[in-house]
């Protein structure tokens, strides 16, 4: 009985930790926002994939994404599901992130009362989007839940 209870507690802790990574906050104790999921398609002809010691580095359109075997997850999907995915361009992520953060700051209860005194929307840590790299093979489709690195071309072009 104790083993079952311990197993359930560990499972709950892992689940709640992984769910916490799907949210961000602007200030301690502030409102939680769900991270929008951005899918990036890996093209083996133009993009780079480097494997080393439990990590995979994806270099896509000037941005760098890192997959850690111990930290991130790989999932697969069907062709039917693949066709429904709306892909984003990696080179537009920085601009989209900056626009998204500015909008959320305007809506945030804490910052709403500050009247245009928002903090600068720093996006070098990339805590605001959940990034999934999709790699398509002939017979399978893999989805890598990755961390977006702060290195890259970092083009901040607001449309």
Mean pLDDT of the chain: 78
Beta carbons within 10 angstroms of residue 146's beta carbon: 24
Phi, psi for 89 (deg, rounded to 5): -90, 130
What's the predicted TM-score (pTM) here?
Answer: 0.77
Please provide the distance, in angstroms rounded to a whole number, between the alpha carbons at the two ends of the chain. 59
Res 67 pLDDT > 70 = yes
Mean pLDDT of 80-107: 89
Per the CB < 8 A criterion, the answer to whether 37 and 96 are in contact is no
Tokens of 75: 């999932």
Average pLDDT over residues 20-48: 86
How far is residue 79's CA from residue 76's CA, in Å, rounded to a whole number? 10
How confident is the model at residue 25, as a pLDDT? 80
Cα–Cα distance between 55 and 108 in angstroms, integer?
Answer: 36
């Amino acid at each position: 009985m104790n083993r079952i209870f311990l197993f359930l507690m560990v499972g709950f802790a892992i689940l709640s930790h992984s769910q916490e990574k799907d949210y961000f906050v602007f200030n301690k104790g502030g409102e939680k926002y769900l991270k929008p999921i951005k899918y990036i398609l890996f093209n083996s002809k133009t993009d780079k994939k480097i494997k080393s010691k439990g990590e995979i580095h994806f270099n896509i359109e000037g941005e760098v994404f890192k997959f850690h075997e111990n930290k991130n997850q790989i999932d697969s999907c069907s062709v039917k599901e693949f066709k429904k995915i709306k892909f984003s361009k990696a080179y537009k992520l920085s601009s989209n992130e900056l626009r998204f953060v500015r909008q959320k700051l305007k809506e945030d209860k804490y910052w709403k009362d500050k009247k245009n005194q928002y903090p600068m929307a720093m996006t070098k840590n990339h805590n605001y989007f959940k990034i999934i790299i999709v790699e398509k093979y002939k017979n399978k489709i893999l989805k890598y839940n990755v961390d977006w690195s702060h290195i890259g071309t970092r083009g901040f072009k607001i449309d």
